[in-house]
Structure 1
Amino acid sequence: MASSSDLDALLQQIPMGELAQRFGVDESTIDAAVRQALPGLVGGMAVNASDRDGAEKLERALQRHEPAAGSLDLNAIDTEDGGKIVSHVLGDKQESVTKALGAQSGSSVISDLLPQLLPILAPLVMQFLAGKLGGAGSAGSGTTPASGDAGGLGGVLGDLLGGLLGGGSAPSGSAKSGSAQGSDGGLGDVLGGLLGGGSSQQSSGGGLGDLLGGLLGGRK
Structure 2
Amino acid sequence: MSDLSGLLNLIPIGDIAAKLGVNEDLAEAAVKQVIPTLIGGMAANAKDDAGAKSLEGALSTHGTKVPRASTVDDIDVADGAKIVSNVFGGKQADVASAVADNNADANVTSDLIAKLLPIVAPIVISWVGSQFLGQKAAPAAAEPAKADAGGIGGLLGGLLGNAGGQDLVGGLIGGLLGGGKR
Match of 1:95 in 2: 93
C-alpha contact (below 8 Å) 1:49/1:150 kept by paired residues = no
CA RMSD, Structure 1 to Structure 2 (Å): 2.8
**Does 1 or 2 have the higher relative contact order (CA < 8 Å, sep 6+)?**
2
Q: Which has the higher helix share?
A: 2
Match of 2:8 in 1: 11
1:144 maps to 2:142: no
Distance change (3 Å), C-alpha of 1:155 and 1:100: same
Match of 2:172 in 1: 190
Distance change (3 Å), C-alpha of 1:51 and 1:187: closer
Structure 1 residue 101 displacement after superposition: 1.0
Q: Is the partner of 2:108 in helix, strand or coil?
A: helix
Structure 1 residue 81 displacement after superposition: 0.6
Q: TM-score, normalised by structure 2?
A: 0.79
Match of 2:57 in 1: 60
1:76 maps to 2:74: yes
Structure 1 residue 124 displacement after superposition: 0.8
Distance change (3 Å), C-alpha of 1:10 and 1:117: same
Q: Which AA in structure 1 matches 2:116?
A: L
C-alpha contact (below 8 Å) 2:68/2:123 kept by paired residues = no
CA distance in 2, matches of 1:190, 1:48: 13
C-alpha contact (below 8 Å) 1:6/1:160 kept by paired residues = yes
Match of 2:102 in 1: 104
Give unpaired runs (5+ residues) of structure 1: 135-141, 167-180, 197-217
Q: Is the partner of 1:164 in helix, strand or coil?
A: coil
Structure 1 residue 41 displacement after superposition: 1.3
Structure 1 residue 187 displacement after superposition: 4.0
C-alpha contact (below 8 Å) 2:40/2:171 kept by paired residues = no
**How many residue pairs were aligned?**
171
Dislocated runs of 4+, deviation >6 Å? none
1:40 maps to 2:7: no
Give unpaired runs (5+ residues) of structure 2: 139-146
CA distance in 2, matches of 1:69, 1:28: 22
Structure 1 residue 114 displacement after superposition: 0.5
Identity over aligned pairs, percent: 46
Q: How does 1:119-130 map to 2 (within 5 A)?
A: 119-130=118-129
Q: After superposition, what is the alpha-carbon deviation per residue over 1:171-218, rounded to whole angstroms, capped at 9, x for unaligned?
A: xxxxxxxxxx4x7xx64663343133xxxxxxxxxxxxxxxxxxxxx4
Distance change (3 Å), C-alpha of 1:53 and 1:190: closer
CA distance in 2, matches of 1:45, 1:69: 17
Q: Which AA in structure 1 matches 2:136?
A: T
